[in-house]
Structure 1
Amino acid sequence: MSLDLHIILFLLLRMAIAAAFVVSASVITERAGPVIGALVATLPVSAGPSYVFLAIDHDASFIAQGALASLPVNAATIFMGLVYVVLAQRQSFAVSVASAVGVWIVLASIIRLFDWTLAAGLAVNAVAFGICIPLLAKYRHVKMPLVTRRWYDIPFRAALVATLVAIVVSTSGWVGPRVSGLIALYPIVFTSMMIILHPRIGGPPTAAVLANSAWGLLGFGMAIAVMHVAVVQLGSAAGLMLALCTCVTWNLTLWWRGRRAMNRVRKEP
């Protein structure tokens, strides 16, 4: 397969997968609420295909080092979510999204200045989530407004997400390797959810989705750590599969615990 064809297929795959998951998450959010939507949104939609293609072209050691770079950036993503959630309560769509993206860029740029170990990456995530999860808790429970769906909604959302993915991926070709690595880890799904849901259902309900995503994003960080260790010990294919299983199992556990808690509340007199 030629390099150009490889790049085109990679771009189209990321566009299709991201669009499918983000559109599904937005529809689920409108129908089932922010909790379920958040669980779908925190699956490895964007990072997963990226690592699969990297594994095709590189050895396990390269993938392990890439995971180390991704782990602290996960901490930047939760701070991005916190900034958006707080601002979206009162500020406009443009201010909320631009501020959140700006914070992520600044934090991720700082993170990339250092060489990270697994212990340091886990420590940064522990501190970030220890700060953000309690602060996000009060924004998690918001009633979803009733929305009338128009015939062009789903095609428009899919095109919007696919366009965003195309811009992010293609931009990396001319900005240099350092910024390119930064762009590869950009949280496309979070940004897409903001762009799709905020104008449609408002700031607080959209913020509730991201607030509920905190625990799922914590599981994504654990999956990255699992991948770093597993690819060296078991090879790239097994390591990637274990990371995916970690992420899916974590989200299913969150869903199960949420259902149990809801059932207990309903049974109380």
Structure 2
Amino acid sequence: MSLDLHFILILLLRMAIAAAFVVSASIITERSGPVIGALVATLPISAGPSYVFLAIDHDAAFIAQGALASLPVNAATIVLGLTYVVLAQRNNLLVSVGSAVAVWIVLASIIRLFDWSLTAGLAVNLVAFGICIPLLAKYRHAKMPLVTRRWYDIPFRASLVATLVAIVVSTSGWVGPRVSGVIALYPIVFTSIMVILHPRIGGPPTAAVLANSAWGLLGFGMAIAVMHVAVVWFGSAIGLCLALATCIVWNLTLWAIGRRAKHRMRHAP
């Protein structure tokens, strides 16, 4: 088998694994209801497979440096979310999604120009989320119409993630860890939510979904920071596992807080 054919087959296998992960997560989300579904949906569905395959191809130093680039990109994603949420109240899909994605691309292009430290990345996230979460709060509640899944929903999401994995894996060797870390954090999940739900249920309800994802995205940023530190100290495998554990614990904590708040409201005099 030629080297090129071997690379293509391995790449297709990795794309298929990533796509299968997304399909499984989507099915669990739809069948488990909104509470557990939200926990699954805010896990690193797109970035996770990308980083796993990067870890297979590169050493721990590459992954650690990529995580430093990914951390400020997480801040760019919450700005994308805020841009869409505000515009979606009165604008169509093209304007809302196009503007949000354009904002992310501009911010990501600026981010890749700099060498980021862990402190700087955390500071950018602190500022971005400190501004965006209060602004998103008033958009969190909207009447949610019944959503019926169409046949192309899951294949669309799977193809987006598979494409992202293909780009990250095939270009990482020559673009380096900084650009790979930026590309790996492209918000596939947010994009698919916007594109699929906006024309079906309207802008405000779709915006409410993204607005409620802000706290989960903050936890994802923490997981990236944990990954960087853990990869440096313990290697890629342990670092990736600890990052995933951080996301899970954070989401479970959010779920417990939300459940406790509903319980208090239900039993309030």
> If the length of structure 1 is used for normalisation, what is the TM-score?
0.89
**Alignment counterpart, residue 156 of structure 2, candidates 143, 154, 160:** 160
- Residue 12 in 1 paired to residue 16 in 2? yes
Question: Sequence identity, in percent?
Answer: 68
Instruction: Find the residue that maps to 2:151 and give its secondary structure.
Output: helix
User: Judging changes above 3 Å, is the alpha-carbon distance between structure 1 residues 19 and 190 closer, same or farther for their aligned structure 2 residues?
Assistant: farther
**Correspondence for 2:243:** 243
Q: Residues 2-25 of structure 1, C-alpha deviation per residue, up to 9 Å, x if partnerless?
A: 322221112122222234434654
Q: What is the 5 A alignment of 1:87-166?
A: 87-147=87-147, 149=148, 153-166=149-162
Distance 2:238 2:171 in 1: 33
**Correspondence for 2:267:** 267
Q: Which runs of 5+ in 2 are unaligned?
A: none
User: Judging changes above 3 Å, is the alpha-carbon distance between structure 1 residues 36 and 136 closer, same or farther for their aligned structure 2 residues?
Assistant: farther
Contact 1:39 1:213 (8 Å CA) reproduced = no
Moved more, 171-180 or 12-21: 171-180
**Correspondence for 2:43:** 43
Q: CA deviation at 1:165?
A: 3.0
Q: Residues 198-252 of structure 1, C-alpha deviation per residue, up to 9 Å, x if partnerless?
A: 1222111111110010000000000000010011111211111111000000001
Q: CA deviation at 1:48?
A: 0.8
Distance 1:7 1:262 in 2: 46
Distance 2:74 2:117 in 1: 14
Contact 1:144 1:205 (8 Å CA) reproduced = yes
**Alignment counterpart, residue 175 of structure 2, candidates 156, 174, 177:** 177
One-letter identity of the residue aligned with 1:237: A
User: Judging changes above 3 Å, is the alpha-carbon distance between structure 1 residues 205 and 36 closer, same or farther for their aligned structure 2 residues?
Assistant: farther
Contact 1:84 1:207 (8 Å CA) reproduced = yes
Q: CA deviation at 1:184?
A: 2.9
One-letter identity of the residue aligned with 1:81: G
Distance 1:59 1:180 in 2: 16
Contact 1:11 1:169 (8 Å CA) reproduced = yes
One-letter identity of the residue aligned with 1:177: V
CA RMSD in angstroms, aligned pairs only: 2.4
Q: CA deviation at 1:170?
A: 4.7
Distance 1:96 1:38 in 2: 23
Distance 1:38 1:114 in 2: 34
Distance 2:186 2:228 in 1: 19
- Residue 64 in 1 paired to residue 68 in 2? no
Distance 2:31 2:79 in 1: 24
Q: Residues 144-179 of structure 1, C-alpha deviation per residue, up to 9 Å, x if partnerless?
A: 1134x3xxx353111211233344455665897379
One-letter identity of the residue aligned with 2:19: M
Instruction: Give the length in aligned residue pairs.
Output: 261
Contact 1:51 1:63 (8 Å CA) reproduced = yes
Q: What is the 5 A alignment of 1:210-225?
A: 210-225=210-225
Contact 1:19 1:158 (8 Å CA) reproduced = yes
User: Judging changes above 3 Å, is the alpha-carbon distance between structure 1 residues 71 and 258 closer, same or farther for their aligned structure 2 residues?
Assistant: same
Distance 1:15 1:64 in 2: 25
Q: Which runs of 5+ in 1 are unaligned?
A: none
- Residue 77 in 1 paired to residue 73 in 2? no
